[in-house]
Amino acid sequence: MILTDYYKGEKLTDRKTVFDITASTGEYDYFETLLRVKRGINKGGLSFNFGETPEKFKKSKTDLSITKGVNITKVKRADIETNIAYGDIYNTNDACIILFNTDFKELGINTVEIFIARGYKNDSISIINRFELEDLKHEVEALKQRAVTKYVTINK
């Protein structure tokens, strides 16, 4: 199995770049630690920031990234017309596939699904090609079935 972990983030509040984790397999220790919300809205849950790459992380030409105080991954799209992107998880040997909601052009990005491929950092382009050809469809479905729904508490 190439894809090992799954995290689904949704834009649940008016916070511009914050996506709260609403479902995950919960087994990727790096995310379970790094994405933990320590205070404020959704305290104890998981979230990440998705949007334009902050200036302090702009060493490459990608405009989008996933962050949480640190750069998690640059979001690279082979085709700007598609809702599929890829990246590699910073400071690991892991690759990821990033899937946006299909209506992102009209509604903006309000759902981001991240599929982790542990140990495949150097094969991210091959993985996205297989993902686009739906060669990994069974793995995607298996991860989504294993995912546990997270109940997000929005305290203001």
Stretch 32-59: mean pLDDT: 83
Structure tokens at 89: 């998880």
Alpha carbon distances (Å) from 38 to 44, 59, 64: 6, 28, 24
Structure tokens at 100: 């946006």
Render 130-142 in DSSP notation, one character per residue.
HHHTTTTHHHHHH
CB 76 within 8 A of CB 98: no
CB 42 within 8 A of CB 15: no
Grade residue 62 by pLDDT with cuts at 50, 70 and 90. Answer: low
Structure tokens at 130: 């297989």
Beta bridge partners of 5: 116
Q: Tens digit of pLDDT for each residue in 137-153?
A: 999 999 999 999 877 76
Q: Tens digit of pLDDT for each residue in 88-139?
A: 999 999 999 999 998 888 788 999 999 999 999 999 999 999 999 999 999 9
The confidence score (pLDDT) of residue 148 equals: 92
The confidence score (pLDDT) of residue 118 equals: 98
Return the higher-pLDDT residue of 14 and 120. Answer: 120
Predicted structure pTM score: 0.91
CA distance 34 to 32: 6
Q: What stretch of H or E contains 96?
A: strand 95-100
Return the higher-pLDDT residue of 23 and 14. Answer: 23
Average pLDDT, the chain: 89
Stretch 24-28: mean pLDDT: 96
Of 22-36, 76-90, 125-139, the poorest mean pLDDT is in 76-90
Render 82-95 in DSSP notation, one character per residue.
SSEEEEE-TTSS-E
